[in-house]
Amino acid sequence: MTAQIRHDWSIEEVEQLLNLPFNDLLYRAQTLHREYFDPNRIQVSTLLSIKTGACPEDCGYCSQSARNSTDLEPERLLPVDEVLASAQAAKAQGATRFCMGAAWRNPTDTNLRKVADMVRAVKDMGMETCLTLGMLTREQARSLKEAGLDYYNHNLDTSPEFYGEVITTRTYEDRLQTLDHVRQAGLNVCSGGILGMGESRRDRASMLCQLSNLPSHPESVPINLLVQVEGTPLFGAEALDPLEFVRTVAAARIMMPRSHVRLSAGRTEMSDELQALCFLAGANSLFYGERLLTTDNPETDRDKALFQRLGLSMEQHVETEKPPQGRACYRV
């Protein structure tokens, strides 16, 4: 029986999910995963920083914040030809989606036009496109849709309750508003969070409620493990129990069964065995390539070897039909 797609999860219900015996939780997640996806196929994306550093935000995890004392040197927006060379290399390695990130609070209209040219050029190569540029106005989201953009990433990062411990320069409502602008423009939504920032299990449950209770579930849900960067406020945070990370992936799969759940930042700190557990828990997407914006990522040869050991194959085509989803029930 196909599971009901819900948009009315409570924090208490999600805590109950996360408190299940580990084997029961993974069995439930894997069983549901098989209703909607080939369990042995992985969607692969590559992420490039097209404008690095000097961001005015104060995100406590971020090496690119101008407020954090890291060794990162700011860089200007990359020229289109360099972006295309990176996209071509990603495509040759098997990636089907090319994601471009810029360290802005929000893009100017001038910069947005330059990025739109990048989107058109990458689309002409036959790849899906994704951007993460910070906050967007409704008009900016529409202009990116007109340029042919497929996905827009804007993470919630954590729960509303814990958010102020990590970021003070933009509000949680700002993030939800950008997601609404993206959805209203007809773009696919990519939104998830970061684990291991000192949040509680209840915070993780609350974050998943925020995502699953959106009017439509995000098509892509990245689950990041904090990458500790020296010079950032969260450097030295207590490491998250790896099995807690797996539990969160499993809950995301159960709550958003039609979404791709992506292993994102932090995979260099994960063993092959931990990643295999995440795939069993319902993760079916990852970032591919040696660099994620400014932090390291596993080498492509290591990922290919892992896929071979696990009998996993990379998605070769893009599904364009999007099934209808239910009514919103917000918990802010």
Catalytic residue among 97, 190, 247, 278: 190
59 is annotated as an active-site residue? yes
Catalytic residue among 99, 175, 204, 253: 99
55 is annotated as an active-site residue? yes
Catalytic residue among 62, 175, 204, 278: 62
278 is annotated as an active-site residue? no
209 is annotated as an active-site residue? no
113 is annotated as an active-site residue? no
- 319 class by beta-carbon count within 10 Å (0-12 exposed, 13-18 middle, 19+ buried): exposed
291 is annotated as an active-site residue? no
Catalytic residue among 55, 170, 253, 278: 55
CA 90, CA 99: separation in Å to the nearest integer? Answer: 10
Catalytic residue among 28, 247, 262, 267: 262
Residue 327's nearest CA partner among 7, 2, 3 is: 7
Collect contacts of 73-76 with beta carbons under 8 A, ≥24 apart: 75/49, 75/51, 76/51
- 84 class by beta-carbon count within 10 Å (0-12 exposed, 13-18 middle, 19+ buried): middle
Catalytic residue among 130, 170, 204, 278: 130
CA 330, CA 310: separation in Å to the nearest integer? Answer: 38
Q: Which residues are catalytic, by number?
A: 55, 59, 62, 99, 130, 190, 262
